[in-house]
Structure 1
């Protein structure tokens, strides 16, 4: 599995370099809109193909589920293992030039994310995990990461989903600082001890959370729905989970 992890890390970085080439040449980006009115670009689709082809070469027998494609889950629902991919998490951030976008790749086994890789190409930072260990690579230095408590917790929230429910949640905290940011980097900030809480209300797609959850749990954190359940990564027709709270234990 370590060899597979290294290949996926390299794949995420290669995909990130491809994304940055478009980021630096905006005239090459084409924007479309999905039925829910969220943006998607030609970059999302191109990176999706790169990742799919590479994962297939790693193991042609493991199904690949990606945000940018449609699936008949009845063909795969008995699979105990599959790849779950978000080729460009934070498309809005990518288009808004703020750097908070990532490449997310995770391996799901029996409904649990056992491997997670997140690369933030703008910041040139890689987060990755396998089972119960998580790491961060920056400036060619790899180090193991762990969650960390704080007397005054840093709460990370989404720029795109800041609403009254978030405000109500924050009012129940005595002391806190807050950082609004995009993509799965919120999970990573908790995993490396920079932040302590990430509240999210409303439904989330499985590809938005799987890699981040794998990394955070491997670093000693926890992700639970507001009812106290685990997020569900068993293959289903909707690929949806309810809201959750990610935090240190």
Structure 2
């Protein structure tokens, strides 16, 4: 590990996320079949192709860092982890992708000591790439170049909230928002919500439904690098290395 700087690891993750995004766009353009995994969630050729590319690149470049990836885990492939390891979701938001919507991402995050320390997240349909980490700036790369991003302080009129499309009617949302002044509530799928918080477009993303650690590691690192917070409902940090890789409910916020 001493031969790999965090800046170098982030550059590697960013390159592979960007390349995986191009693979996904190519498959989307020519069409694909959607299958159902044993947990009833959807999976496509794009999930598998993007993951294969990412895993090959990570394991070739830094073979000393273990990788935990969604589709390998779904196939029953288990890898021992150490203090430092990658978490990969090759296509977060497969339901959105399969339905022809644009809100899906490629997530490559690095965990160290139970915390998400750096991440790269590509938004293939938007041609956007977000990166950030501990001691590293949060940035967005798109057709206009590279921009340093940061979360915002909510405006006087209240919070702009983005919640999950698939839990739009969750009765827990009102309780989660509490007495906060709310200006608007929108619903979209996938980790795109983290990106919109990180760049200061919205203020609050409550996640009350289930997620896995590979869904959140990369975007959490980016949001926190941009000055935001990802915490459990009691305010404690969202940590990694849980036995079942499942996250409890959490909230993602800007400068509240």
Q: TM-score, normalised by structure 2?
A: 0.90
- Rounded to whole Å, the distance in 1 between the matches of 2:25 and 2:123 is 10
* Paired position in structure 2 for 1:237: 243
- Do residues 38 (structure 1) and 44 (structure 2) align? no
Q: Which moved more, 1:117-126 or 1:35-44?
A: 35-44
| The one of 27, 45, 67 aligned to 2:70 | 67
Are the counterparts in 1 of residues 66 and 85 from structure 2 also a CA contact under 8 Å? yes
Shift of 1:58: 1.5
| The one of 171, 177, 187 aligned to 1:180 | 187
- Do residues 123 (structure 1) and 88 (structure 2) align? no
- Do residues 17 (structure 1) and 19 (structure 2) align? no
Superposed structure 1 runs of 4+ greater than 4 Å apart? none
Matches within 5 A, 1:10-159: 10-26=15-31, 29-70=32-73, 76-77=80-81, 79-132=82-135, 133-149=137-153, 150-151=155-156, 152-159=158-165
Are the counterparts in 2 of residues 72 and 237 from structure 1 also a CA contact under 8 Å? no
Change (3 A) 1:23 1:167: farther
Are the counterparts in 1 of residues 213 and 245 from structure 2 also a CA contact under 8 Å? yes
Shift of 1:25: 1.5
Query: 1:176 is paired with a residue of what secondary structure?
Result: strand
Matches within 5 A, 1:152-171: 152-162=158-168, 163-170=170-177
- Do residues 8 (structure 1) and 13 (structure 2) align? yes
Shift of 1:101: 0.6
Shift of 1:4: 2.6
Shift of 1:42: 1.9
Are the counterparts in 1 of residues 160 and 204 from structure 2 also a CA contact under 8 Å? yes
- Rounded to whole Å, the distance in 2 between the matches of 1:3 and 1:165 is 41
- Rounded to whole Å, the distance in 2 between the matches of 1:98 and 1:240 is 26
Are the counterparts in 1 of residues 116 and 239 from structure 2 also a CA contact under 8 Å? no
Q: TM-score, normalised by structure 1?
A: 0.92
Deviations 1:85-136 (A, max 9, x none): 0000000010111110110000111111111100001100110002142111
Shift of 1:170: 4.8
Please list every run of 5 or more consecutive structure 1 residues that lacks an aligned counterpart in the other structure: none
- Rounded to whole Å, the distance in 2 between the matches of 1:8 and 1:247 is 24
- Rounded to whole Å, the distance in 2 between the matches of 1:108 and 1:185 is 20
Root mean square deviation, CA, Å: 1.7
Are the counterparts in 2 of residues 127 and 136 from structure 1 also a CA contact under 8 Å? yes
**How many residues end up aligned between the 2 structures?**
244
